[in-house]
């Protein structure tokens, strides 16, 4: 469990969040987090992330393959985008959406260095993905939904961006779990995520409970009569701990 931040850590957090004060707005009773500044991008590609978050479990579960269109929403500097791009190559595309051009520039540098040429960057807005309609087989949202300043508008835009039958996959740090060393404002409960998604035109179609720190919930547009699923409650036994004790994090 995290202890109260000492002055230096508080200063670091303020810097990463662009000097912004704590979030003032809320959505359906949940306080909104500030956008993570591009100045914090190195944290997204830190060496320890693979063992802390076990993203390979998520990537396998997404079940993407060559020719698919993978949309990384809130792509940051492309930790997930580059893997998605390799997975859907050679005929598929990884769309990378972010509101910060600096993040997209960092992502572009990383893609070039890795020799990956099927990433399409898109500068979105606080209310729109700016993707063409009916584009995504999967829209992956890792550690971003909780910081949308206008979640309702983004969910409406995401509904339009999905292909028919496409999945929105929401990945958020577990708020129910005090062992996840992330600040409370940057975590979500399954119940809150599900309440917000189902209130805005989505139905649950799958869930992954084996990530060490995160919930992963898969949704589709709720346009038909199919019966809705409910998320199973998270319990401490469902997810293994990371393979090593994590270092303190600014998030």
Ligand X SMILES: C[S@@+](CC[C@H](N)C(=O)[O-])C[C@H]1O[C@@H](n2cnc3c(N)ncnc32)[C@H](O)[C@@H]1O
Positions that interact with ligand X (CB under 6 A):
35-36, 44, 73-76, 79-80, 97-100, 103, 124, 126, 142-144, 147-148, 154
Q: Are 212 and 54 in contact (CB under 8 A)?
A: yes
Of 105, 98, 85, the closest CA to residue 142 belongs to 98
CB of 203 to ligand X, least distance (A): 22
Closer residue to ligand X in complex, CB, 149/229: 149
Closer residue to ligand X in complex, CB, 160/229: 160
Closer residue to ligand X in complex, CB, 18/231: 18
Closer residue to ligand X in complex, CB, 39/232: 39
Q: Which residue has the tokens 């028919």?
A: 164
Q: String of b and e for 187-221 (b: at least 16 CB within 10 Å)?
A: bbbbebbbebbeebbbbbbebbbebbbbbbbbbbb
CB of 74 to ligand X, least distance (A): 3
Closer residue to ligand X in complex, CB, 92/121: 121
Chain centre to alpha carbon of residue 242: 19
Closer residue to ligand X in complex, CB, 184/228: 184
CB of 224 to ligand X, least distance (A): 27
Q: How far apart, in whole angstroms, are the C-alpha atoms of residue 250 and residue 241?
A: 20
Chain centre to alpha carbon of residue 12: 22
Q: Which residues in the chain belong to E strands, given as ranges?
A: 26-27, 30-31, 69-73, 93-98, 119-123, 136-142, 162-174, 187-188, 202-208, 214-221
CB of 103 to ligand X, least distance (A): 4
Q: Are 204 and 230 in contact (CB under 8 A)?
A: yes
């Amino acid at each position: 469990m995290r202890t109260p931040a000492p002055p230096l850590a508080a200063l670091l957090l303020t810097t990463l969040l662009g000097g912004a004060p704590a979030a003032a707005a809320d959505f359906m009773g949940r306080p909104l987090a500030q956008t993570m500044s591009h100045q914090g991008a190195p944290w997204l590609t830190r060496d320890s992330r693979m063992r802390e978050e076990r993203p390979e479990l998520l990537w396998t579960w997404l079940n993407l393959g060559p020719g698919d269109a993978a949309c990384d929403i809130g792509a940051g500097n492309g930790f997930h985008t580059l893997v998605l791009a390799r997975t859907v190559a050679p005929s598929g595309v990884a769309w990378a959406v972010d509101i910060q051009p600096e993040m997209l520039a960092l992502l572009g540098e990383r893609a070039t260095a890795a020799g990956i040429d099927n990433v399409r960057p898109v500068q979105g807005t606080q209310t729109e993905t700016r993707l063409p309609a009916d584009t995504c087989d999967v829209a992956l949202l890792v550690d971003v939904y909780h910081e949308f300043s206008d979640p309702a508008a983004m969910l409406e835009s995401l509904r339009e961006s999905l292909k028919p039958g496409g999945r929105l996959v929401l990945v958020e740090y577990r708020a129910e779990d005090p062992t996840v060393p992330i600040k409370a404002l940057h975590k979500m409960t399954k119940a809150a995520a599900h309440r917000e998604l189902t209130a805005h035109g989505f139905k649950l179609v799958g869930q992954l409970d084996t990530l060490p720190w995160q919930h992963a919930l898969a949704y589709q547009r709720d346009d038909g009569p199919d019966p809705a699923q409910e998320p199973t409650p998270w319990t401490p036994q469902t997810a293994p701990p990371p393979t090593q004790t994590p270092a303190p994090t600014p998030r």
